[in-house]
Amino acid sequence: MNTFKRLKEFYWPYKMYFIISILTLLAVTGITLVYPIILQQTIDNIVLAGNYHLVPYVAVGFIILMAIKGVATYYHQYLGDLFGIRSVYELRNALYRKLQFLPFRYYDNARTGDLMSRLTADVEGFRFFLSFGCAQLINLLMLVGLSMGIMFFYSPSLALLTLGAMPFLVLTVYRFDKKVHPAFKDIRKSFAQMTTKVQENISGMNTVKSLSKENFEIGRFEDKNSDYRDKFIYTSGIWARFFPIMELIGHICVVVLLGYGGYLVITEAIQPGVLVAFFSLIWYIVGPLMNLGFIINMFSQSKASGERLLQVLDEKEDIFDQPEALHVERLEGYVEFKDVTHQYDSEDEMALKNITFDAPPGKTIGLIGATGSGKTSITQLISRFYEPSRGEILIDGQPIKNYTLKSIRHNIGVVLQESFLFSSSIKDNISYGSPNASMDQIIDAAKRAQAHDFIMDLPNGYDTVLGERGMGLSGGQKQRIAIARAICIDPCILILDDATSAVDMETEAKIQAAFEEVMKGRTTFIIAHRISSLMHADEIIVLDNGEIVERGTHHELLQITDGHYRKIYDIQFKDRKTFLQEAQ
Ligand SMILES: Nc1ncnc2c1ncn2[C@@H]1O[C@H](COP(=O)(O)OP(=O)(O)OP(=O)(O)O)[C@@H](O)[C@H]1O
Q: Which atom of ligand 1 is nearest to the CA of 377?
A: 18
**How far does residue 342's CA lie from ligand 1's centre (Å)?**
11
Amino acid identity of residue 37, one-letter, is I
β strands within 325-418, DSSP E: 335-342, 352-359, 364-369, 390-395, 398-399, 412-415
How many whole angstroms separate alpha carbon 194 and alpha carbon 188? 10
> What does the DSSP assignment read for 219-231?
HHHHHHHHHHHHH
344 Cβ closer than 6 Å to some ligand 1 atom = yes
Three-state SS string over 487-536 comes to HHCCCCEEEEECCCCCCCHHHHHHHHHHHHHHHCCCEEEEECCCHHHHCC
| Residue 349 DSSP one-character state | P
Q: Which CATH number describes the domain made up of 2-314?
A: 1.20.1560.10
Which pLDDT score, from 0 to 100, does residue 278 have? 92
What values do phi and psi take at 311, rounded to 5? Answer: -55, -40
Domain boundaries, the chain: 2-314, 415-490
**How far does residue 373's CA lie from ligand 1's centre (Å)?**
7
Alpha carbon nearest to ligand 1 atom 16, residue: 374
**How far does residue 290's CA lie from ligand 1's centre (Å)?**
56
CA atoms within 13 A on the CB side of 548: 19
373 Cβ closer than 6 Å to some ligand 1 atom = yes
372 Cβ closer than 6 Å to some ligand 1 atom = yes
Reference 279, options 162, 382, 192; nearest CA is 162
Alpha carbon nearest to ligand 1 atom 31, residue: 372
- 412, 495 Cβ separation under 8 angstroms: yes
Which pLDDT score, from 0 to 100, does residue 192 have? 80
Q: Which residues is 526 bridged to in the sheet?
A: 366, 496
103 Cβ closer than 6 Å to some ligand 1 atom = no
Alpha carbon nearest to ligand 1 atom 11, residue: 351
Buried b (16+ CB within 10 A) or exposed e, 527-562: bbeebebbbebebbbbbeebebebbbebeebbeeee
Alpha carbon nearest to ligand 1 atom 30, residue: 372
Q: Which fold has domain 415-490?
A: Rossmann fold (3.40.50)
522 Cβ closer than 6 Å to some ligand 1 atom = no
**How far does residue 295's CA lie from ligand 1's centre (Å)?**
49
371 Cβ closer than 6 Å to some ligand 1 atom = yes
**How far does residue 110's CA lie from ligand 1's centre (Å)?**
17
How many whole angstroms separate alpha carbon 188 and alpha carbon 114? 11
374 Cβ closer than 6 Å to some ligand 1 atom = yes
Contacts of residue 484, defined as CB under 8 A and 6 or more positions apart, other chains included, come to 430, 442, 445, 446, 448, 449, 451
Which pLDDT score, from 0 to 100, does residue 501 have? 65
301 Cβ closer than 6 Å to some ligand 1 atom = no
Q: ipTM of this model?
A: 0.95
How many whole angstroms separate alpha carbon 82 and alpha carbon 85? 5
Distance linking the first and last C-alpha atoms of the chain: 69
Would you say the pTM of this structure is higher than 0.80?
A: no
29 Cβ closer than 6 Å to some ligand 1 atom = no
Q: Which atom of ligand 1 is nearest to the CA of 543?
A: 21
Three-state SS string over 301-337 comes to HHHHHHHHHHHHHHCCCCCCCCCCCECCCCCCCCEEE
Going from the first residue of the chain to its last (584 residues), give the mean pLDDT of each consecutive group of 10, the final group possibly shorter: 86 94 93 91 90 90 93 95 93 92 83 83 89 87 92 92 87 86 83 84 84 88 94 91 88 90 92 91 88 79 87 86 85 91 85 91 91 90 91 92 89 84 87 87 87 86 76 78 88 85 68 75 88 86 90 87 84 62 53
- 298, 133 Cβ separation under 8 angstroms: yes
If one residue of 318, 375, 497 were mutated to test the ligand 1 pocket, choosing by the most ligand atoms within 8 A of its CB, it would be 375
377 Cβ closer than 6 Å to some ligand 1 atom = yes
If one residue of 346, 348, 353, 389 were mutated to test the ligand 1 pocket, choosing by the most ligand atoms within 8 A of its CB, it would be 348
| Residue 358 DSSP one-character state | E
Q: Which atom of ligand 1 is nearest to the CA of 374?
A: 18
Which pLDDT score, from 0 to 100, does residue 291 have? 82
**How far does residue 350's CA lie from ligand 1's centre (Å)?**
10
**How far does residue 574's CA lie from ligand 1's centre (Å)?**
29
How many whole angstroms separate alpha carbon 538 and alpha carbon 553? 6
107 Cβ closer than 6 Å to some ligand 1 atom = no
What values do phi and psi take at 504, rounded to 5? Answer: -75, 170
